[in-house]
Structure 1
């Protein structure tokens, strides 16, 4: 515990040495990206992404799980997501799963635990895309969702292959006579990349 206290006491000096402007941070936050990931102590999002203070807005939950939106019983996680999207106007959200995840393992998952971890990330993206604050921005293209999976043992972070989907309320079923090109516009499916595009001026490109 003493080591943690010592680092806390010298934080301002270390921040200055690394060129971190604490006065600017005190004036307000304007992060480039939100990351939703597991509370596992082996995951350090800022270290993985090379972020500096103020770059990354983090939500850590058990297993990186996103609770389903419930207007009758709003959760703290839902409030955090809403603040990121409506308050901070975040343009990119990463959901990052990881290998050796006790939360996925404790769910009674059989078979390949890594494949189960990838599928867990995909499920969280689907839950997130159903949030009322997320849906309109997916439609107008001002919000992008990204699926990452971090390998604890190697440090690699390949993205699970999947397609972004629209929330059920915003999906339409095209008629058989509808042209193929129009059907594509209805679906607006977009391949989620393992690279987060620079969302704002000077935003770092973060490679998974």
Structure 2
């Protein structure tokens, strides 16, 4: 029997430390002394199979990452409720001054599958938070019962919701911020990119 996952993760940290603190200490020193200056905000799913840093081979400090169930972006709703994703978007755009926002969807998303199942059967998840969270993507199911098609429409929906944030819209219209929709085809290892001019996803790498 192999090592428990947590033990392997601790061993992995030792490897990380050896690379960045022993072989490349100047990189860590820059991040500590100068602070983070990521150019990209990447909004991804919490799915354990879709790690943005691994998928993009990113270096520490390159991306400001937000992960939630089904990589959803809620509409702009400033009130007294808790808005973790919106707070992260605000910080990335207004304080870190990122130049790009990527919404990364993916194949085989459990949250989207549950959304489609609910639309087809009326079955409501026996959970306190997931049902209401996924409801913001309910309109995407109107495009049909195909889970992967709904998943891609959900990326579009999140891009539209990003534009409801005044500070996002302002920087996009000024040419200082660009929005990107990506969709990771897990089975084939293909990254699809949304072409807003053609309103379709095009195969990339």
Q: Distance between the aligned counterparts of 2:23 and 2:163, measured in 1?
A: 37
Taking the TM superposition and a 5 Å limit, the aligned residue runs for 1:1-208 are 1-16=6-21, 19=24, 21-27=27-33, 28-72=35-79, 73=81, 75-108=83-116, 109=141, 110-163=144-197
- Contact kept, 8 Å, 1:146 with 1:192, in 2: the verdict is no
Q: Deviations over 1:40-78 (max 9, x none)?
A: 010121122221111111000110011222111351111
* Contact map agreement 2:38 2:62 (CA 8 A) in 1: yes
Q: Could you say what the CA RMSD is over the residues aligned between the two structures, in angstroms?
A: 2.4
Task: Indicate if the aligned counterparts of 2:194 and 2:201 stay in contact, CA closer than 8 A.
Answer: no
Query: 2: distance between equivalents of 1:133 and 1:193?
Result: 26
> After alignment, is 35-44 or 3-12 more displaced?
3-12
Helix, strand or coil for the counterpart of 1:30? coil
Shift of 1:194: 7.3
- SS of the residue corresponding to residue 133 of structure 1 reads helix
Long gaps (5+) in structure 1? 164-189, 196-206
What TM-score, normalized by structure 1, do the two folds share?
0.74
- Assess, with a 3 A threshold, how the Cα gap between structure 1 residues 107 and 150 changes in structure 2: closer, same or farther: same
Bigger drift between 39-48 and 106-115 goes to 106-115
Taking structure 2 as the reference length, what is the TM-score of the superposition?
0.75
Residues matched between the structures, number: 171
Structure having the larger proportion of residues in helix: 2
Q: Kindly tell me: are residues 38 and 14 of structure 1, through their superposed partners in 2, closer, same or farther at Cα, counting changes over 3 Å? A: same
Please give the alpha-carbon distance, in whole angstroms, between the structure 1 residues aligned to 2:29 and 2:200.
Answer: 36
Shift in CA distance, 158/193, structure 1 to aligned 2, threshold 3 Å: closer
- Give yes or no for contact 1:146–1:194 (8 Å, CA) kept in 2: no
